[in-house]
Amino acid sequence: MNTIIRKTDVENIDMDIIKEAGDVIRHGGLVAFPTETVYGLGADGMDATASAKIYAAKGRPSDNPLILHIADLETLDKIASEIPKKAKLLMDKFWPGPMTLIFKKKAEVPYGTTGGLETVAVRYPEHPVALELIKAAGTPIAAPSANTSGRPSPTKAEHVIEDMDGKIDMILDGGQVGIGIESTIVDVTQDIPMILRPGYITKAMVEEVVGEVSVDKVVQAKSIEELGGDYAPKAPGMKYKHYAPKAELTMFEGDVNKVIEVINRKTAEDELDGEKVGIIATDESKHLYKSGRVVSIGSRKDEESIARGLYGILRDFDDMGVDVIYSETFYDDNLGQAIMNRLIKAAGYKIIAVDGE
């Protein structure tokens, strides 16, 4: 398949391009597009045959449901059978924006989109290109991240091209995204809302609006054992190894100076063995590493810069062809919780405590 790639200026959107992309979705095709979180891979979410193409292009397991993206609140009534009061409060505060809500679904939403579940995930994004595309398509757009399943999510069009060129109809290139990690998912079908996946909107921000909030225990797990063998995450996608670079990633936790010392030692040993080592550092620490391919993920003083840099760095290490990657850890509150959740999964839960070594 020949993939059409079109640049779209976010400040001054070319509506002819949007119409062309909207037509592709209307006709059951696939369009990758920018959102404020990461790039999405979109299809008509009300058409199970169109949604099936997303699973095929990504190699995504069929029990991992898709998020439906809407561009107005009226459309929500067509897909959600019940909108609880706490959901309304969250919608008022965070929509449009990086928050996905889980509702009971209406019969019209195909099981092919919801992975067989009776619930549907819905997001109202705020990226102008995403909004125009949804309007032009005239249907809720089902869209997971536009990466091959298991690879880091795309934060710029080049990442989408790497994974999807030749497999989908069209890519809308709207440049680098603003946030860089996926939306916060909140299940509002239960009385106490539950965070199923952390994101830019933090637990504290959700609590401020609806009071008590619970968190699915898969979110904070630092080991697979901690979860118990038969634990099923409420968001099916959270059980898969995800976001993974090609090289094995190990994280080191503890006092940052000690972490740097240990990573320096490990890197020197690996390089003696002829291995290429990638190091995830920060603006504050990068000059303290003695060897290896040292890349700063952002500044510890600015968690948003770390979120933005995360997936791009993992892909950059793939391009450099490193054999192993060592990383510092980050605070796991606020936005740090979402950052650590992604990194821990990318590391396949390999975290080594360095204190007391």
Minimum CB distance to Mg ion, residue 343 (Å):
15
Distance from C-alpha of 199 to C-alpha of 178, rounded to nearest angstrom:
13
319-357 per-residue burial string, b: 16 or more CB within 10 A, e: under 16:
eeebebbbbbbbebeebbbbbbbbbbbbbebebbebeee
Burial environment of residue 191 by CB neighbours within 10 A (0 to 12, 13 to 18, 19 or more): exposed
The CA–CA distances, whole Å, from 317 to 182, 251, 311 equal 21, 15, 10
Q: Which of 42, 110, 144, 174 binds ligand AMP (CB under 6 A)?
A: 144
Span 180-219, contacts to ligand AMP by CB under 6 A = 182, 185, 196-197
Q: Is 152 in the site for ligand AMP (CB under 6 A)?
A: no
Nearer to ligand AMP, 240 or 289 (CB): 240
Closest CA to 179 of 311, 275, 289, 23: 311
Residue 120: contacted member of Mg ion, ligand AMP, none (CB under 5 to 8 Å, by partner type): ligand AMP
CA distance 119 to 147: 24
Provide, rounded to whole angstroms, the least separation between the CB of residue 55 and Mg ion. 12
Q: What angle do CA 235, 236, 240 make, to 5 degrees?
A: 120
Interface with ligand AMP, residue 119, by CB under 6 A: yes
Give the integer Cα–Cα distance in Å for 326 and 322: 11
Provide the Cα torsion 293, 298, 299, 304; round to 10°. -160
Which of 67, 279, 307, 313 is close enough to bind ligand AMP by CB under 6 A? 67
Binding partner at 196 among Mg ion, ligand AMP, none, C-beta below 5 to 8 Å by kind: ligand AMP
CA distance linking residue 343 with residue 280, whole number of Å: 11
Stretch that binds ligand AMP, among 119-127, 157-165, 303-311, 314-322 (CB under 6 A): 119-127
Q: Are 270 and 323 in contact (CB under 8 A)?
A: yes
Report the partner that residue 155 touches, choosing among Mg ion, ligand AMP, none (CB closer than 5 to 8 A by kind): none
Instruction: Confirm or reject binding of residue 235 to ligand AMP (CB under 6 A).
Output: yes
CB of 144 to Mg ion, least distance (A): 5
Between 239 and 276, name the residue whose CB sits nearer to ligand AMP: 239
Q: Which residues form the interface with Mg ion (CB under 5 A)?
A: 144-145
Site for ligand AMP (CB under 6 A): how many residues? 20
Determine whether 49 is exposed, middle or buried from the number of CB atoms within 10 Å of its CB (0-12, 13-18, 19+). Answer: exposed
Binding residue (CB under 6 A) for ligand AMP from 71, 90, 121, 221: 121
CB of 184 to ligand AMP, least distance (A): 11
Chain residues that interact with ligand AMP, rule: CB under 6 A = 64-65, 67, 102, 114, 117, 119-121, 144-145, 182, 185, 196-197, 234-238
